[in-house]
Every structure is written in structure tokens, then in C-alpha cells.
Amino acid sequence: MSQTLDRPQVSSRSADLGRLTHALVAVVRDRGGVMPTRDALVALARQEGIPLSRLNYVLTLAKAEGRVTTESATSTIHVD
């Protein structure tokens, strides 16, 4: 029975990550497509009402999916 209960949580976490990734892209796009990475994450945390520490996974996923790029030299995030 425990496995049955775990599956919706995993699915829910996946959906949350997907939704947050989409929201991150929207935050950056709404601000011209380029902004400081930290500012983007802070704006997303405030918008979604979640701790900033949870958003590293969102940034990593967005980068892995090719939805955003980051430049470490300038600490910026970019959306095409």
C-alpha cells in the first residue's frame, strides 16, 4: 500500500517541477529574456511562495531541458 501512496507524490513532484520550470522561463521572458540568475530565482520564489533553496532543482531542470541558459561569468540567465 505504501507504494501506491508514493506514486502520486512522485507524479506530483514532477508536475510541480514542470510548472515551476515553466514559471521560471516566464519570469525571465517577462523581464526581457536576460536577467541576473539570483534575481530570477528570488522573483520566482516570491511569486510561488516557496523557499529559494528549492529552486536550484528548477534551474537545473530548466537548463537540462534547454529552456534556459546561464552564463557563469556574468551570473545571468537567458531565455530565447
Residue 55: the pLDDT is: 92
Q: What pLDDT tens digit does each residue of the chain (80 aa) get? A: 444 444 455 568 788 889 999 999 999 999 999 999 999 999 999 999 999 998 999 999 999 999 999 999 999 999 98
Question: What span, in angstroms and rounded, lies between the C-alpha atoms of 53 and 73?
Answer: 22
CB 20 within 8 A of CB 48: yes
Domains located in the chain, CATH noted: 2-78 (1.10.10)
User: What pTM, to 2 d.p., does this model score?
Assistant: 0.82
Three-class secondary structure assignment of 22-77: HHHHHHHHHCCCEEEHHHHHHHHHHHHCCCHHHHHHHHHHHHHCCCCEEECCCCEE
Residue 16: the pLDDT is: 87
User: Within 10 A of 72 (CB to CB), how many other CB atoms are there?
Assistant: 7
